[in-house]
Structure 1
Amino acid sequence: MRAKGKTTQRLDKVLSNMGFGSRAELKKKAKSGSIVVNGTVVKDPGKHVDPYTDSIEIDGETIAYREFVYLMLHKPPGVISATEDVRERTVLDLLDEKYLVFEPFPVGRLDKDTEGLLLLTNDGKLAHELLSPRKHVPKTYQAIVEGRVDEEDIRQFSRGVTLDDGYVTLPSELVIDALEEQGDGSIRSRITLTIHEGKFHQVKRMFEAVGKKVIYLKRISMGTLRLDESLEIGSYRELTKAELAGIGRATDE
């Protein structure tokens, strides 16, 4: 997070970034006396202020400035991890307007039919840190797999699996949670898998490489972030102070 008291910005830039109107609209508000800084009416929207330490009011509302927003979303299946799409519903369509003004984007992606943890932010530096291949940030998934996942699969995953394009994955940790016999006598396996990279459709392709098919997939953690199980599918919340500290974004509050 940017340190308080170390930067000033144009008043209209601060307010427009917080969704209080365009530069032209804010100019009109300033002329009408609707903007107050530290108890004084300010009619010059170009005045420089420190948004972290100055008291700024607009239309009687005191603003709480922040540069970045960090949201934990329980992504539902059927929604794509993108900022816009002409045909499909995106994760941004799930957000309230008060968050959209920050122009957040998903950190990485989950397949359209995959649910679970997705971080949305406008902090590009954090996104790079979490997605950089050199960081090997762990991502943990729960899945239902057609077929019997066994000890040989665990050993193969621990060594690295060769995908359909010849790429050999990094070693991963596969845990068999349960084996469930179906009415037709077939077996389905409930598993937990932790990988340390993020190739396209990686989890599904890893199981395909050992002759099995993923029929349900849910991400439950990414780095230190763990999905809040109280979040219903399609709902979201801001990260807590502890969660922000875990990703190196401790607040100054």
Structure 2
Amino acid sequence: MRLDKFLSHTGFGSRKEVRLLLKQKKIFVNEKVQTKGDLKIDVNKDQVSMDGEKIHYQKFHYLMLHKPSGVLSATEDVKQKTVIDLLSDDYQHLDLFPVGRLDKDTEGLLLLTNDGELAHFLLSPKKEVKKVYFARVEGIMDDDDRVAFQNSILLEDGYKCLPGQLEIKKTDSEQNQSEVLITIQEGKFHQVKRMVKARGKEVNYLKRLSMGTLKLDPSLKRGEYRYLTDEELQSLKEHLPNN
């Protein structure tokens, strides 16, 4: 791997910022000053340090984001703000992407990573990774709706969803509203909203609470993020094919 790429991926900034560090002769490889970013190094054997402190290579990064409403689940957009735009400059060079998508007006748990294998695993319907949503619904949801979710909802375009779960938390007949938890195993376009609509109701607020074993940290405010803990990451990875 190129030295400048190594430094960029270990949190030392953009390529431009890394070039400045090299120019200032602050970077050492095997205890020798290095100023050339195109130097090839072996990340498993060569020792890279800055001002005497060893730099440990981290190939993959995993961030939990509390996505706010009004932000796109995308890496870039010329007109609208994306979830990547929420990150500080320290993370902009890590090539992170959202695992799946939440609608622009949906908030809640979103995993950002550069680990394509884990992303593919979490998003594959065959893996049956459950996603849990809290929804505020216009209309009264009842046991008939719950059974319909269990028996697979048929959407307006003819697509039959995989069996889901509907847990009714609260109903208000005066306001004609329901609060429910909805669990699905796939992530079709506007799926939760379309499933509810197929039952003659309408979602007016939606928040993802969990994805697989990963649960939204209640201490994270909208727009805030943090690295996954070792326990959270291990739990997510324990069912990967190579684990």
TM-score of the two chains, using structure 1 as the length reference: 0.85
Cα distance in 2 for residues equivalent to 1:249 and 1:46: 36
What does residue 33 of structure 1 align with? 25
SS class of match (2:133): strand
Question: What's 2:175 paired with?
Answer: 186
Paired-residue identity, % = 52
What whole-Å deviation, never above 9, does each CA across 1:176-211 have from its counterpart, x for those lacking one? 001124xxx332111001011111100000011010
1:46 and 1:112, CA in 2 relative to 1: closer, same or farther beyond 3 A?
closer
Corresponding residue to 2:92 among 87, 91, 100: 100
The aligned residue for residue 22 of structure 1 is 15
Residues of 2 paired with 1:233 and 1:60: CA distance?
38
Deviation at 1:86, TM superposition (A): 1.3
CA distance in 1 between counterparts of 2:185 and 2:228 reads 23
Aligned to 1:83: 75
Structure 2: segments with no counterpart, 5+ residues: none
Q: Aligned with 2:117: secondary structure?
A: helix
Alpha carbons of 1:187 and 1:125: their partners in 2 closer, same or farther (altered >3 Å)? same
Deviations 1:25-83 (A, max 9, x none): 63x75566332124332355554434356442246664332111100000000111011
Instruction: Tell me how many residue pairs correspond in the alignment.
Output: 238
Q: CA RMSD in A?
A: 2.4
Shift of 1:119: 0.3
Q: Cα 1:11–1:229, aligned 2, differ >3 Å: closer, same or farther?
A: same
Match of 1:235 in 2: 224
Match of 1:3 in 2: none
| Residue among 113, 118, 127 paired with 2:105 | 113
> What is the alpha-carbon distance in structure 2 between the residues aligned to residue 180 and residue 24 of structure 1?
56
Asked if 2 retains the 8 angstrom alpha-carbon contact of 1:16 and 1:23, the reply is no
Distance between the aligned counterparts of 1:245 and 1:91, measured in 2? Answer: 24
Spell out, residue by residue over 1:57-112, the C-alpha distance to the aligned partner (whole angstroms, 9 max, x if none): 24666433211110000000011101111111110111011111111010000000
- What secondary structure, in the 3-state scheme, does the structure 2 residue paired with 1:130 have? helix
Residues in 1 aligned to 2:94 and 2:185: alpha-carbon distance in whole angstroms: 29
What is the rounded CA distance, in whole Å, between the counterparts of 2:146 and 2:76 in structure 1?
38
Report if aligned partners of 1:13, 1:23 keep a CA contact under 8 Å in 2.
no
Q: Which residue of 2 aligns with 1:196?
A: 185
* Alpha-carbon separation, structure 1, partners of 2:76 and 2:187: 22
TM-score, with normalisation over the residues of structure 2?
0.88
- 1:68 paired with 2:60, answer yes
- Tell me which residue corresponds to 2:141: 149
Deviations 1:217-247 (A, max 9, x none): 0000111111111111110100000011012
| 2:213 aligned with 1:224 | yes
CA distance in 2, matches of 1:76, 1:155: 31
- Structure 1 portions without partners, runs of 5+: 1-8
- Conserved? CA contact 1:12–1:23, under 8 Å: no
Say if 1:54 and 1:196 are closer, same or farther in 2 by CA, change over 3 A: same
Residue 249 of structure 1: how far off its partner (Å): 7.3
Per the alignment, residue 4 of structure 1 pairs with none
Task: Give the alignment of 1:49-68 within 5 angstroms.
Answer: 49-52=41-44, 54-58=46-50, 62-68=54-60
Could you say if the C-alpha distance between residues 86 and 134 of structure 1 is closer, same or farther in structure 2, counting changes exceeding 3 Å?
Answer: same
Deviation at 1:21, TM superposition (A): 5.0
